[in-house]
Amino acid sequence: MKLKLCYYGDPILRKVAKPVEKITDEIRELCHNMVETMKGCDGIGLAAPQVGYLLRIFVSNLASEDEKGELHLGEPKIYINPILTAPSEALVERNEGCLSIPKLYLPIVRPLSIHLEATDLEGNTFHEECYGYPARNRMHENDHLNGVLFIDRIKGKRRTEIEPELRRIKQYYSKNV
Ligand code: ZN
């Protein structure tokens, strides 16, 4: 089942999500629906707060990035209670977008690589060394679990410049959802 997306302006996107205590049938169903919703929206990642659940879960189908910078999708993966550590000192600026802030793509500075630890649907812990765009993707989704949106990483004059566009998006989605 495709779930309803929460858009910029919805207060749930600003809340800190809670850890998943136990992997129940409800959690399995939510993860399944999140994958379906992500695919249905042509997204490469989706976090639980974006579909109205304040739980530390995100899904992604972004497998890798090749030397040419092209992104390759793989089997959708589920990340429960993810922990991101060891961000690289090297930073990169790349364009980013978000299903909750439609049609806004902006260059965002983030570490080039990161280490990730999470639990899968079977309750097993797994690790990932993320590099390039997949690292960015996991950091973007993990930010959602802390009530942080990618636009928060834009500071100063550039942030002021996008405010009218953000106001427009907020207004549009508060009326049309
Ligand atoms: Zn997002």
CATH number of the domain bearing residue 65:
3.90.45.10
Residue 26 falls in the annotated catalytic set: no
Q: How high is the pLDDT of residue 174? A: 87
Q: Is 3 part of any domain?
A: no
| Residue 152 falls inside a structural domain | yes
In a domain, 1, yes or no: no
Output the CA torsion 139→140→146→147 (10° steps): 170
**Candidate list 67, 141, 161, 165, residue with the active-site label:** 141
Kindly state whether residue 6 falls inside one of the protein's structural domains: no
- The verdict on residue 2 lying in a domain is no
Q: Do the beta carbons of residue 56 and residue 80 sit within 8 Å?
A: yes
Q: Does the pLDDT of residue 177 top 90, yes or no?
A: no
In a domain, 168, yes or no: yes
Task: Please state the pTM of the whole predicted model.
Answer: 0.96
How far, in Å, from the CA of 150 to the mean position of ligand 1?
7
Residue 4 resides in a domain? no
What is the tens place of the pLDDT at every residue in 118-144?
A: 999 999 999 999 999 999 999 999 999
Give me the domain span that covers residue 112: 11-176
* Cα separation values, 8 from 36, 50, 100, 103, 144, Å: 21, 9, 6, 12, 12
- As a whole number of angstroms, the distance between CA 10 and CA 165 comes to 16
Overall number of domains in the chain: 1
Q: What is the pLDDT of residues 21-51, one digit of tens each?
A: 999 999 999 999 999 999 999 999 999 999 9
What is the b/e burial string over 39-67, where b = at least 16 CB atoms within 10 angstroms of the residue's CB?
beeebbbbbbbbbebebbbbbbbbeebee
How does residue 175 score in pLDDT terms, banded at 50, 70 and 90?
A: confident
Model pLDDT for residues 40-96, shown as the tens digit of each residue: 999 999 999 999 999 999 999 999 999 998 999 999 999 999 999 999 999 999 999
Rounded Cα distance, 65 and 164, in Å: 33
Distance in Å, CA 2 to ligand 1 centroid: 17
